[in-house]
Structure 1
Amino acid sequence: MLVSEERAYRAVASRDTRFDGCFVTGVRSTGIYCRPSCPARTPKAGNVEFFPTAAAAQQAGYRSCRRCLPDAVPGSPEWDLRADLAGRAMRLVDDGTVDREGVSGLAARLGYSTRHLTRVLTAELGAGPLALARAHRAHTARLLIETTGLEFIEVAHAAGFASLRQFNDTVREVFATTPTALRDRATRRTAPAKLPTGTLRLRLPLRLPFDAAGTLNFLLAEAVPGVEWGSSTHYGRTLRLPHGTGTAELTPRRQHIAATLRLTDLRDLGSAVTRLRRLLDLDCDPVAVDEALGNDPALSGAVRRAPGIRFPGSVDGPETALRAVLSRGLPREAATRRTAALADELGEPVRGITENTRARLFPRPEAVAEHAARVLPRPSEGSAAVRALAERIAEDDIRVDAGRDDAELRSELRDIGGLDPATAEHVTARVLGEPDSLTPTDPVLLRGAARLGLAPERAELTRHARGWSPWRSYAAMHLRRIGAQQPHTGSEEPPDTEEGRE
């Protein structure tokens, strides 16, 4: 776990919401596991045990608390902090890899045997890959039960269960109730709106504070028309998912993100939610980040102006990599035009699930490799690098996903002709959600450092940034924002509304 047992019990005694998702508490006398902030009476210290994951608590025979719903909390920030096998595996499990490819597929992606992977995950997380995937399926099933009117056989199929019986048994065991009772209770709280088939409205929980305005501004500043859209209050984009396609509309509220998803295949719900959480960095520990960076006098003012700053991640590794190479060395407007031309020419239209008639998926690597020379104007070293990267991805010579080892991915990207170390670092950090990445050659970042009174030289900034570890990615976000003259607007947060729940 991220914290010691003594500190964990203090968090439970004080009902500290900052630790929700970092661990769960099993109460021996009731057989229930809870989130740290559960409003129930605090159990005696000798009567509790702590688990790093809900799957570990379920493996030990505990069932989910009906009052605090411990599976409906922000995810653990530990997976982004950890570059080891357990952290990489957990990111792939959350993306549904076990449901799609089995434990053997997960092990193959990570480069280990099934036996070794199971041994490591059991030792580190208290549960093996099957138990972790089962907990993920149970969470997806609850979302569908409570937010849709799907028949339970359809819910079971979409959540990844092999049969209706397996679905019913898992729901009863994990939640100590039946699917019917779960739906009835949700209906009493909020009558679900009648939505078109494939449309879901969810609440994505997050840790406060959350710099909503700054995060939206960052995403919209580099948005590709058709692939992404939005305003000062919301952000939308198309999604290429394992079983189909979709769109997402995200609107920050006071304590959560209201998400409207439109999916061609409901089996992609779990993957879509996981990827959107990574895109907005919702599992970040903002209190720890702000405390660490705020202790530096040079950054303290920036932290006060933009508390809860996020380091946006990626919903699609190949897309992030290709866009980074397309934009390399170009002004923002020129980079957007170049990327938009590629998406408009080679992207697939998204029809039937959105009213946005211009919505398109970002092109597949195969299409970019074959047609980029025709679409991109004036072939150059940059165009050659885009084609080279697309060909490597299309031929599966390089995988760009959240399960990769950071050093290996960075090295493979650097080996591609025309890709500079800064681009390789940027892609690796965004795709893996690395919290401790900083590129001291970025001119906007250096300009921001100079405006804060820091030496705008690569060597000096690298030396000073050691004090920001392990949160250098967030410090870089502050510097880039100041360097681009885009300070936090300080606008009021939008009002909270009830639009479904996660």
Structure 2
Amino acid sequence: MLVDSFIDGNDFMKSNTQLSIELMYKTLAKCDKRYDGMFIYAVKTTGIFCRPSCKSKTPNLENIYFFENAVDAKQLGFRPCKRCQPDLYVDIYDPQQEIVEEVFNFLLQHYQEKITLTTLAVKIGVSQYYLSRIFKEKLGVTPHQYLEIIRIHKAQNLLLNTVHNSTEICFQVGYNNFSSFYKQFRKICGCSPSQFRIKNERGV
């Protein structure tokens, strides 16, 4: 099966996982083995898929497709990398990983709501300290930091795909005041919401 024609002909989504594309790309660029088993990526130009920790040269983002597992990639005709052997990855049960996955799935579904560490700890059934510690060990950020990343990523999509102004988008993605939204947007994106919209509209 020709990977290129299959994907282009069916408008296949570039990401078939619940992690943001930005986070996954940063992860594979750093060859972060902590994300092995959470997703794999395939390269359109080579027809090969790899683990996040693969030491191969980092491909351009526009040539990458993300999947939850090797089976999905194989079904689209991608071949496993001989270097990192992603198809041989054994997903050993990890209770901490299960907790982390439950947390970020909850954050993805409820990012518009008021969420605190206490809220998450009660829902998962563990202490706040334990939850915060294992989340940061696995993903490199705290639950709150990951929530901010999700909200800003959603804001980026709204800025590019709607005519809503920055203030409207601020509340749509879960912030209670524009000041906090503006500060986090600049911190994560390196520019203001309005600058982000203008820059991307012009294709800069």
Bin for the TM-score computed over the shorter chain? 0.5 to 0.7
In 1, Cα distance between equivalents of 2:67 and 2:103: 14
1:183 corresponds to 2:197:
yes
Correspondence for 1:127 among 141, 151, 156: 141
Supply the AA of the counterpart residue of 1:133. L
2:103 aligns with 89
Q: CA deviation at 1:162?
A: 2.8
Q: CA deviation at 1:129?
A: 0.8
Q: CA deviation at 1:121?
A: 0.5
- The structure with more radius of gyration: 1
CA shift in 2, pair 1:170/1:75, >3 Å = farther
1:163 corresponds to 2:177:
yes
CA shift in 2, pair 1:116/1:76, >3 Å = farther
CA shift in 2, pair 1:121/1:151, >3 Å = same
2:131 aligns with 117
In 1, Cα distance between equivalents of 2:26 and 2:201: 28
Correspondence for 1:152 among 166, 172, 183: 166
Deviation string, structure 1 residues 8-58 (Cα, Å, up to 9, x no partner): xxxxxxxxx99x6784447xxxxxxxx65xxxxxxxxxxx574868xxxxx
Q: CA deviation at 1:125?
A: 1.3
**Matches for 1:359-370 after TM superposition, within 5 Å:** none
* Alpha carbons 2:25, 2:61 under 8 Å: kept: no
Correspondence for 2:68 among 72, 77, 82: 77
Q: CA deviation at 1:74?
A: 6.9
2:88 aligns with none
RMSD between superposed Cα atoms in Å: 3.6
SS in 2 for 1:95: helix
**Matches for 1:1-20 after TM superposition, within 5 Å:** none
2:45 aligns with none
Q: TM-score, normalised by structure 2?
A: 0.54
In 1, Cα distance between equivalents of 2:154 and 2:120: 19
1:391 aligns with none
CA shift in 2, pair 1:180/1:21, >3 Å = closer
* Alpha carbons 1:98, 1:105 under 8 Å: kept: no
In 2, Cα distance between equivalents of 1:181 and 1:22: 22
Deviation string, structure 1 residues 355-409 (Cα, Å, up to 9, x no partner): xxxxxxxxxxxxxxxxxxxxxxxxxxxxxxxxxxxxxxxxxxxxxxxxxxxxxxx
In 1, Cα distance between equivalents of 2:187 and 2:33: 18
Q: Which 5+ residue runs of structure 2 have no aligned equivalent?
A: 1-14, 36-59, 70-90
1:442 aligns with none
Q: Which 5+ residue runs of structure 1 have no aligned equivalent?
A: 1-16, 27-34, 37-47, 54-66, 190-502
1:174 corresponds to 2:185:
no
1:295 aligns with none
SS in 2 for 1:161: coil
Supply the AA of the counterpart residue of 2:169. V
**Matches for 1:102-501 after TM superposition, within 5 Å:** 102-189=116-203
- Number of residue pairs matched by the alignment: 136
In 1, Cα distance between equivalents of 2:197 and 2:23: 28
Q: Percent identity?
A: 16
Q: TM-score, normalised by structure 1?
A: 0.24
Query: Runs (4+) of structure 1 moved beyond 3 Å?
Result: 20-26, 48-53, 73-76, 97-101
* Alpha carbons 1:98, 1:133 under 8 Å: kept: no
When you count helix as a share of all residues, which structure comes out higher?
A: 2
SS in 1 for 2:114: helix
Q: CA deviation at 1:68?
A: 4.7
1:384 aligns with none
CA shift in 2, pair 1:143/1:52, >3 Å = farther
